[in-house]
Structure 1
Amino acid sequence: MDFDPKRLHFCDKTLSYQVRAKDLVDRLTLEEKIAQLGDKAPGVPRLHIPPYIWRSDPAFGIKFNDTIHAVTSFPAVLLTTASFNETLWKAIGETVSDEVRAMHNFGIAGLTYWDPNVNVATDPRWGRIQETAGEDPFVVGRYGLNYVRGLQDVQGHINYPDPNARPLKVAATCKYYTAYGMENDPTKKIDKYHFDAQVTVRDMMETFNYPFELCVKQGDAASVMCSYNRVNGIPSCADPNLLNGTVRELWGLHGYIVDDCDWVLSMILVPQKFLNDTPADAIAQAYKAGVDLDCRGDYTPKYIMEAVNQGKLSEVTIDKALINLYVVLMRLGWFDGSPGIYNHLGRFDIHKGANLDLAQEAARQGIVLLHNDRDILPLNWTNRPTIALVGPHANATTALLGNSRLKNDNNVFRYLRPLTMLQGYANVKYAPGCFDVNCQDTSGFQAAVDATEGTEATLLFVGLDSSVEDETSDRQNIYLPSNQQKLINTILESPKSSPLVVVILSGGGIDISDWNWRVAAVVWAGYPGADGGVAIIDVLFGKKNPAGRLPVTWYKGDYTNKLPMTSMQLRPNPDLGYPGRTYKFSADKDVLYPFGYGQSYSEFNYTILAPKFVLIERPELPKCRQITFSDGTVAPDCPAILVTDSICNKVVKITVVVTNAGKRDGAHVVLLYSKLPSNIGGTLPNKRLVGFQRVFIKSGEALEVGFDLNVCKSFSFVSEDAYELLPVGDHSIVVGQDLSTDTAIINQDVSAKMSIMFQMGTANQQKL
């Protein structure tokens, strides 16, 4: 019989996607079904279903060819996050998806993208820290949901009665789920394929899973990718509680779950196999747990039939997986044609001027000023100055990209290098000293020193690159490569050298305490993308007033000697001598630059306006929760309430008045934290970020920055037995204001007290 689409329900646009997908799956043979479960789905020719390649990853570079000569290169995520600008994060997602749709119209790109990485970066040595949005789960989650919304949302279809029918521009994937934060620990000879992350339920709820929850529930991501590692003994891609129980049932995923590439192979080759798995066992466990697609499909088609024949996996489970996949493809327009508003996108919508401007602005907004002795920055002279440019990154190209793989088939790409951009501002004496980050050849050091003589300033570009921190490489320490430090000291020791400004390209933090207070200024530029050179020079010369804030803590070098990467605990462990991780639990003595630190060319002052009392309606007394008080305080009749038992719709308005007391207009990031009452026992966070905004304030002016906080969510804590509790007492509202001196960083928070009280009902409400 000739193919007649009118006789096939999956071609009927009047039916729901669920009905159409089920009809399609019901028409397939078992062999045809199995063939579609890898990343290169061959399609079904007899039903005119074309092949589809599922795997695309803009974080590692969108592949393109001679038809499309280049795509826009955005900064690495960590630098983008340092802007603390949610509008920017979403705009980047929108621009990336515009370019993806344009390339899709040329037939050279898919529509399912395995991005963003929403893991929390808890260890400064992690090689993929540059891909993350930092160490704070709230920030990571906000980055993830905004970027996902930018990738996925179709104009006019943001809110939809049936989420499974909501059209998608591009399908995003929140990865890598969960408790993933190491690649290859050289001290323990353990890699991510064999690592078993031992994580408490408290830390899972409070930190590791929180960004994924935001990504799925508020971002409405179309996909989640599970990670290679095990979590508490169970492979994350074979854990039904993590996948079906949490991602689908608890968070309500509208889409599919994919395993990380070669996960099945890694489970087969693990020396002590999980439950003595055969390949068929591993496949069966993954799909029964909730996996729908194999990231690299060589093993699934090969062994899944064996699993079915042995009775380890039912065809019904395979059908459910395929329906999840086909519904997403239908939402993308793969069957019915893409939404009309994207059909016009073409070659001139890729790598266009507006997109490049956004990429450059993202880098400018993220750059962090760490040190500025005697306000040497911004550089400014009446006449055109002569400046020495030295260091292994002074003429950087691919290093600007971090571990991105942006390149076309001919490896041709445009880079706005620091050297080229500096020549627009100054006469340049260029002498790199060495040409790679390891600086093994030191013969050029003297030439670099000589170049600094007779100049107004010296710009030294140092840092790391993908040879040091990458998807396959964790750092062994958090120092600069030794010969780079030697280059810095050699220049500092020269009596004729000009004031030294150091620019650092890196993902993770670096201990620079040996020299940071001896140089004139230090700037962290992350991995700023192919156009990063112009952004850096613009900041150094004051075209942009820096407002970036560190999204990760920069520790002192001996910090990493105190704990192995394989330790996943957040709170300090005195029995083992392990310090706390992240700004929530680390001690000041371990910190070089705290989370949220960043200077400006202006000075900003704060005043906090907040209510002194907040009344919360609580449940009956039996539902109140007891908590420990560290100072022996007698507990009230209801010391805390379980957040899930409460009507958590109480919103408190906090206003921060920010005054620009400097001489320059500029952007400023307001970071708002909450602190629990000081008399609560146990190891609680030092403070917790509950809101952030980036604002622009002119010199001499003040701006009111408002935060509407859900009391039960912003002032709660997770107890040791993993309950989210809201305690009574005097909570602190804190605005972070880290100040620098010539020798130290001072955490000088501006704070206000707010007392939370419980009442039985509105009839008993007191006037306060």
Structure 2
Amino acid sequence: MFLLSFPSLIPLLRAGLDLDCAESWIEEKGRPLRDFLSEYSKAAVEQGKLRESDIDNALRNQYMTLMRLGYFDNIPRYASLNETDICTDEHRSLAHDGARQGIVLLKNDGNLLPLDPEKILAVAVHGPHARAPEKVMDGDYTGPPCRYVTPRQGISKHVKISHRANTTIYLGGINLHIEREGNDREDLLLPKNQTEEILHFAKASQNPIILVILSGGGIDVSFAHKHPKIGAILWAGYPGGEGGNAIADVIFGRYNPGGRLPLTWFKNKYIQQIPMTSMEFRPVPEKGYPGRTYKFYDGPEVLYPFGYGLSYTKFHYETSTDGTSVTLPATGGHCKGLSYKPSVATTPSCQAVDVAGHACTETVSFNISVINGGGRGGAHVVLVYTAPPPEVAQAPIKQVAAFRRVFVPATSTATVPFTLNVCKAFGIVERTAYTVVPSGVSKVLVENGDSSSSVSFPVKIDFSV
């Protein structure tokens, strides 16, 4: 919004943009623009380009919201709330468990993890995030936690920390000085000094080292993924105040990691494949742009795909569903056109149904059996994708339709039921910007975190006109 010029204020305010998020990173006359509306609305009124009634309307909307929330009511049960109500054992436990659930195991050569504290009595702990000062474990738009448990503190609860230990844990990554709103990264690499340090400790360590990364976005750690002396890699995101305990729980086996990446980790060369100024999600072949996100990217191999994540056990899938069909009514002009690949010779009379004008009550139901083939119980996230008919042009490769987290005891099986709404699960945003359900044979696809097991089945979608 701060990139907009002064004249854009008037239509924005009148269109209902009542609230400005304040602090700006843009400077004007040597000082930052702290508040776009405050900076420009007064001048707009003085110049006769904006009425006071327009400002009154924006303020009225905001104060009405505050009133509906009881902000001015001095409600005793809310007015008396303080830190003691927030920082309870229950809430700290919730923050702790949330951090554990979000940790993703990216590499675990030779089952290096988990470490057994009964056998490994001491570890060496290095890296800039080991002591994790305030705000290193926090993401953007977060309030202060009740306390900070650093990774070093969490690890010290399990084993002794010693520079002479044969096992090394390196905690690195980035922070909000490098990535946040208004502060875009220039590359996808770790800071150079960290890469050099990691390689130094890997070479010096008697055993393969463990790398723990704190970051919000993906980082190209190809050097670590391929390195034989870097045995395990964990991504902890920005785990919050209880992050140190959560990281230690995963490293020492108190918790079996079940997190899966919420975004694709591209290799650093991706920044040369597509400019930041390109807003296209779909590939642009004439310019050589490979597209964005797991839905559309068709370029060279990525480091870690969306949904990737290992476990201390092995999960496999089975399903008894080998295919199904569904018919949607398409009366009353609900049919829309569809973009087809040039090789498609004939197309149906009703190519797609407009989701916005349809009742969308049809569903597809199935069960997925999650089989734990290992000797350790663990939580597993079942990700269900749908893929549109292959003849549709510029459609998503696949898209998440549903997911469920389930705990499966060692050597056991859990049955996970799914019911997909056809419009929500199989609808795609067409090139015309309509959200439509395409006619033809779509596919349901379920892949585990390391792509070692998958099941799929076709779903034939017809329309009754």
Query: Under a length normalisation based on structure 1, what TM-score does the superposition of the two structures give?
Result: 0.55
> SS at the partner of 1:706?
strand
Determine the structure 1 residue equivalent to 2:444. 733
CA apart distance, 1:426: 1.4
Matching residue's letter, 2:389: P
Aligned amino acid, residue 614 of structure 1: V
1:529 to 1:383, Cα distance in 2 relative to 1, 3 A: same
Change (3 A) 1:235 1:424: farther
When residues 237 and 372 of structure 1 are mapped into structure 2, their CA distance, relative to the original with a 3 A threshold, is farther
- The answer to whether residue 43 in structure 2 is matched with residue 303 in structure 1 is yes
Residues 333 and 608 of structure 1: is their aligned pair in 2 closer, same or farther, counting only changes over 3 Å?
A: same
Structure 1 counterpart of 2:247: 536
- Asked if 1:751 corresponds to 2:463, the answer is no
Shift in Å at residue 756 of structure 1?
A: 0.8
Distance in 1, Cα, partners of 2:424 & 2:142: 39
Rounded Cα–Cα distance in structure 1 between residues aligned with 2:26 and 2:124: 50
1:522, 1:622 → 2: CA distance? 50
Q: What amino acid is the match of 1:734?
A: L
C-alpha distance in 1, partners of 2:446/2:302?
Answer: 19
> Match for residue 20 of structure 2?
259
Q: How much has 1:428 moved relative to structure 2?
A: 1.4
1:662 and 2:380 are equivalent in the alignment? no
- Cα deviation for residue 698 of structure 1 reads 1.6
Q: Deviations over 1:353-372 (max 9, x none)?
A: 22222111111110110011
User: Deviation string for 1:338-386 (max 9, x for gaps)?
Assistant: 3x65355344213222222211111111011001111111111534512
Q: Which has the higher strand share?
A: 2
The 3 A distance-change label for structure 1 pair 686 and 305 is: same
Q: Which residue of 2 aligns with 1:462?
A: 172
Give per-residue Cα distances to partners, 1:267-295, cap 9 Å, x unaligned.
9889xxxxxxxx9xxxxxxxxxxxxxx95
1:428-486 deviation per Cα after TM superposition (whole angstroms, max 9, x unaligned): 114xxxxxxxxxxxxxxxxxxxx45xx2x211112112332234432211111222212
The alpha carbon displacement at 1:505 in A equals: 1.2
| Structure 1 residues 237 and 583: CA distance shift in structure 2, 3 A | farther
- In the alignment, the residues of structure 1 paired with residue 452 and residue 71 of structure 2 have an alpha-carbon distance, to the nearest angstrom, of 53
| Structure-2 separation of matches of 1:626 and 1:427 | 63
TM-aligned CA distance change 1:262 to 1:479, over 3 Å: closer
Residues 623 and 498 (structure 1 numbering): CA distance in 2 closer, same or farther, change over 3 Å? closer
RMSD: 3.1
Deviation for aligned residue 1:689:
0.8
Cα gap change, 1:239 to 1:687, in 2 (>3 Å): farther
Which of 309, 313, 321 is the matching residue for 1:598? Answer: 309
Q: Name stretches of at least 5 consecutive residues in structure 2 with no aligned partner.
A: none
- Counterpart among 427, 435, 441 of residue 724 in structure 1: 435
Q: C-alpha separation between the residues in 2 aligned to 1:418 and 1:587?
A: 37
How is 1:512-527 mapped onto 2 (pairs within 5 angstroms)? Answer: 512-518=221-227, 519-527=230-238
Distance 1:259 1:237, change over 3 A: farther
Query: Shift of residue 325 of structure 1?
Result: 1.9
Q: Secondary structure at the match of 1:614?
A: strand
The count of aligned residue pairs is 459
AA at the equivalent of 1:673: Y
Change (3 A) 1:685 1:407: closer
Whether 2:302 is the aligned partner of 1:569: answer no
In the alignment, structure 1 residue 546 sits paired with structure 2 residue 257: yes
Amino acid at match of 1:356: R
Once the 2 structures are TM-superposed, how far is the Cα of residue 675 of structure 1 from its aligned partner?
Answer: 0.1
Letter in 1 for 2:373: A
5 Å-filtered alignment, 1:54-73, equals none
Q: For 1:290-439, what aligned pairs fall within 5 Å after superposition?
A: 298-299=38-39, 302-303=42-43, 305-307=45-47, 310=48, 312-338=49-75, 341-383=77-119, 385-398=121-134, 399-403=136-140, 414-430=147-163
Classify 1:341/1:404 alpha carbon distance in 2 versus 1 (closer, same or farther; 3 Å): closer
Deviation at 1:542, TM superposition (A): 0.8
- Counterparts of 1:94-133 in structure 2 under 5 Å? none
Check the 8 A contact 1:361/1:535 in 2, yes or no: yes
Residue type matched to 1:755 in 2? K
Q: Residue 354 and residue 738 in structure 1: after superposition, are their counterparts in 2 closer, same or farther (change >3 A)?
A: closer
Q: 1:235, CA displacement in angstroms?
A: 8.5
Contact 2:260 2:449 in 1 (8 A): no
1:421–1:487 CA distance, 2 compared to 1 (3 A):
same
Pair 1:686–1:331, CA change in 2 (3 A) = same
Question: Take 2:88 and 2:391, find their aligned partners in 1: how far apart are those partners?
Answer: 57
Q: Distance in 1 between matches of 2:29 and 2:209?
A: 52
Contact 2:314 2:373 in 1 (8 A): yes
Distance 1:243 1:683, change over 3 A: farther
Stretches of structure 1 lacking an aligned partner (at least 5 in a row)? 1-226, 249-255, 271-278, 280-293, 431-450, 740-745, 761-768
Equivalent residues of 1:507, 1:526 under 8 A apart = yes
Q: Match of 2:2?
A: 228
Shift of 1:723: 1.7
Q: 1:622 to 1:460 in 2, by over 3 A?
A: closer
Whether contact under 8 Å (1:228, 1:260) holds in the other structure is no
TM, length-normalised to structure 2: 0.89
Match for 2:215: what amino acid?
Answer: S
